[in-house]
Structure 1
Amino acid sequence: MNTATLLPTAQHAHSAQSAMGAHGTPNVPSQLTGSGGRIAERTTERTAPLRVQALIQQGLLSTMFQPIAQLDSGLIYGYEALVRGPKGSALEYPDALFAAGRREGLSVELEICCARQALQDWRHQALPGKLLINMSAAALASAVAQSGHDNHGDCNTLLNERLGLPLDRIVIELTEHERVTDIEILRQTIVGLRRQGVGIALDDFGDGRSSLRLWSEIQPDLVKIDKYFTHDLPAHAEKLQTFRALLQLAETFGAQLVAEGIENAEELRVLRDLGVSFGQGWFLGRPNPQGQLEVLPAARDVLASSDIAVLPELRRASSNGVTAERLIMEAVTVSQDTTHEQLFRLFDDNEQLHAVAVLDEHQHPVALVDRAQFLNRWAKPFFLDLYGRRPCTLFANPTPLVVDADTGIEALTTVLTSADQRYLREGFIITREGRYLGLGTGEQLVRSVTEARIEAARHANPLTFLPGNIPISQHIGRLLSSGREFVAAYADLNHFKPFNDEYGYWRGDEMIRLVARVSSMHCDTQRDFLGHVGGDDFVMLFQSDDWEQRCEQIIERFNALARNLFDAAALQAGGIMAEDRHGDLRFHPCTTLSIGVVRIKPGSLQRVEEVATAAASAKRHAKHEQLSLYVMETT
């Protein structure tokens, strides 16, 4: 079937959507524009409100086309059809138009009319690529139900208006996902449409009404991500992580993503670098009746540029979702009426058992018996004679630490610093919904917290919350892959150890945070990447052309502010007397900053490790030659 026709009209009171979304504020002139370009004069005083039925019957609806671009090439992929009512009227924009349609019980008929109008206007404009038409899932399901198709969902009778358009250039955007009352009818409808070459998209995914189940059920070709996740994306690491998760889902389900609401160069650059397939928004192109054939010049410049985005990082250390469940050690339990004699035999048979939980008849923990304390009591004279047949709860801890399995590891760090250190010795009980799961030990907790913090520090330094080793390496890798020239700078403090030894770790941490603060002030957050390797070592990866001036400003500003961390006597002397690395007492000047820089030309270095080694070498030259700034070229 080579020709495109669309849905029959249907009088149906299903509540439907404001399909054909729109941007902008109404501009109210004193005329109406019909779909065929005819103009109807009208007075500024309205004697009666417009009715949707009249707009449909008189052909007064029209279509705007907003481009959807391929983010890898900048080419136009297609256009979303956006309905408009009479210009200057109360029903010009979709929200008001579809609200009026619902009041008149014409939701489905209005949607179908809008879709037909979009096809007619698109054919008239002879636009390239795909045409994306909004239809509510409820309207599609209703139309199929009324037309009485068989169980195979054959949609041939659903398409009745021949417009000479190839169906494989049409994509139906499903909106108002929460209104799908019968998934099976919708699925059959989509099978029939696909049989004729029509594509399927999910609109506004992530707006609170979208359904992951619907995505899985209908397997759309495109998923349009709600503009909330695009807005100010470069400043929100959480939104970036959401896009990464959605990209993985899209790969799993065989779909491609369309990012909606792109409004500036920074958002576009991040989305391009993430690998999102398509984009839509005012920065790429605004809706207009003719449909633009190219993305706007500013967007073309971004997509053609070899500059890469500085992706936002989560600026906090985290335990990566590790919970108390990971600490569970399976261990035998006893009941409340277990005697001391029975408990002794249990410990004697299980030498690795550090403690035993006492449970009630509902498997809820009521006490904990520590092995070492129990055996100490057992070894005392006459204990067996006096207490051997008494319940083990007599000397048990009736208030043990009980932890839900879903508790995060970081929340348990209070145990490590608690004044009551018995929890580290006897451990704690792990439950789910109050029922016993197993025991945890203080040793396990210390090890897990340490591992989590070491891993977290590789992603974000816990002192400055700047990106750590892993994000630094990832960004260098992206810069190398981009094929552009960039600058890797390695900053390190001079005479920091004597300062730290003299004034203590608290003031030492202040000095390190000062490096982070000053460096952040002089890096372009959209083009330059700042990371904290650890200690007093920092890495800056510049795409800014004025990188040398920025480095000089960082050095000058830091050196001035760092003096405020010395006391008056040290400032007067120009430094402090302190032991050097060999233990010899000598004079050390006030702490200053050195930066070693290496310019990475395209193709000169291939691996992340080579860039890191070159930057470290430049830093050593700067410190050895007592230079504030040392620049090294790659060959």
Structure 2
Amino acid sequence: MSNLGAKLSRWARKLHVPLNSKDAATDPRIPELLREGRWIGMIYFDLVDFELTEQIYGTLYCRQVLTALDELINERVEELLAPHRVLEISRRGDDLVVYFHATNSPPPSGPELSRTAEQLRERLGNELSARCKHLIPTGLNFHVGFSLIEPDDDTRENAERALYKAYKEAVLVAKNQVDALEMERRRDFTDLLMNEAIHMVYQPILRMDSGRIIGYEALCRGPANSFFTSPLNLFGYAEKTNHLYALERIARKKALAGLIELSGAMLFLNINPKVVHDPTFRADEIRDHLHELGTTPDRVVFEITERTGIEDFRSFRQSLEYYRQHGFKVAVDDAGAGYSSLQAVAELQPDFIKIDQSLIRDIDQNAIKRILVETFLTFGEKTGGRIIAEEIETADELATLQGLGVPFGQGFFLALPAYPPPPVDVAAARLMKENDTQSVRDRNSRLGRIVPVGGISQGVTTMNIHTVTKDVVDFFTGHPQVEGVAVLGDDHRPAGLIMRDKLFNQLGTQFGFAVYTERPIYLVMDPQALIVENDTPVEVVSQLAMARPDHKVYDSIIVTKNGIYHGLVSVRQLLDAITGIQVEAARFANPLTGLPGNRLIEEELLSRLGGGQPFSVIYTDLDHFKGFNDRYGFERGDQAIKMTASILTEQVSRLGRPDDLVGHIGGDDFIVVTRPEVSEAICRGVIEAFDERVPELYDPEDRKRGYINSRDRQDRPVRLPLMTVSLALIDCHPGHYQSPEELSRIAAGLKKYAKSMEGSVFVKERRHRPS
């Protein structure tokens, strides 16, 4: 059955539908209107290439588009059709039908109906594109058809048949437009292939530690201001019309031609998995072409896209091996985006693994994403796959990725795609050099309080430096569960470390037992063992332990307190502790911002209240947030909350110290725990940054007015100014406060007072409280 026939068949099964009426009690059904001799107008809409759009962008995004379409139609059609009255709006998939009527007006003429349909198509298409630009950046449009049912004897006798005929007529009008558009599009695409009317732009891939460019990704662009400008449309249409091989050949030739301008850097070349079946995609021919350009295959990386198109990974891997033998490298794109990407990494064993933007976006605010990226880093180290973070768009994302140790990066924040191949953005390059990798790692990987290594150390039996080796052997033999012991000097300070397996291996050599068993243990101990103070965070100890030479990575760590032996920590204990911290942090972090939630906040406050040291808490609340959320919806509301979390984290990182805490109580309520000497500076920094960035969240017209139209709790219209932030600051000295609940009560009063003032403000508790 044709697409048109299928649409008509579906519609024929749906004739009697209740009217979309505000007053269902007085509004008759559409067939009844026809039987009464009234005219009915019908306008049919069909989203252009929606099936292709779904293939390119995915079902989830397209469902959100249809939801936005429903909202738009319900909000705007009645106004746009005035003075006609909308009787019913029905949608099936991306097909939409609007029925309308005017009681005291004659039916519109054919030209009038055509103009009305065209105006609706243009207005609704533009507004839907604007609402969905974050989902489908290439824009959306409609095919439109129309028909009119005028009263006559046949209509009165069989209203349902008249409706069906009118629907067929409206679809055929739209269908004629589709055919004309498709013919024009096919001509344009044929001309594009014949004239090779595409061009390449190049985006740098660089080392995150130095900012040095190691490669460029070649990105294809179609003719400007056309349907094929977007590479998604371009390659999607090529695959739809079975011209993928031809288009890929042209793109490959033009991308390789740019190698001479890349100053020795690698070229990352996107290939669809299906291209391996193209007989012209031959490694020897590409190699010979590179030779003519004066370069070699090891500068070319085939970047595998569309992994869902790989039907047989084993066969595809064998095909790639043929190219690897000629010196080409392989990268897997969008790792972490779904099961197919992970399967591609496992099956293809790429030289480069490009982490999908879904894991990079807002990674500075999401602890789970950081843990997942750390997992990829570990995997890459073990398999030889070098990690590239894609789509880096903010300074915070860059800093976090540097802190995690991601070796390579790419994104708009670092450099925009361009031709000729562009350098790295000057500001981004300077920022990379300024970032202190270690401090950034500590700042962003911690969700709760720092756990000192002394808390997990064990007081294992020690040996004196003069103990003979034979006694140590006897000890290990009698205590098989002990992996290592610390060797102490006469002053009880650590002198070295003995690990069971290394001692036995050394004594097992030809003369080892005879030479060492009766001699002091210091002759066979490791005098350069890793020694840390008991208050060192376990995260830092883990980094130091993993940085040791390979033959020492699994040795125990000696823990001291003021230089005196305190205990031993095995690598297993260390990893278990870190895993526990990460799991607990993930369990009790706020899912939206990744910041510590109420459980961790309460533990921090209890610890500070019982610690005997002064500290400050800053309770943060957004003003006019509810009206903003009602006006723009939950998604924009979430953006406001995440922006606030980012501002608080930035200011505390800039002015506070590593053990300060930024927590998310819930909704638009946050808390900061810091030191009294910097608390007011943090408040001022938060207010300044918030007032500067909050206008970005508003539509241009609301931003220009300085307010939004909303309704109060009594449903009365009100004007709400742009959001501001209110902060309640409490300096806590030993003995002044007894519980987190008491602090919360004091803060509630302060916030209420702050919210009574105009603009962003902070209010400080200044009442004297006896100890």
TM-score range, shorter chain: 0.3 to 0.5
TM-score calculated relative to the size of structure 2: 0.39
TM-score calculated relative to the size of structure 1: 0.47
Q: Which has the higher helix share?
A: 2
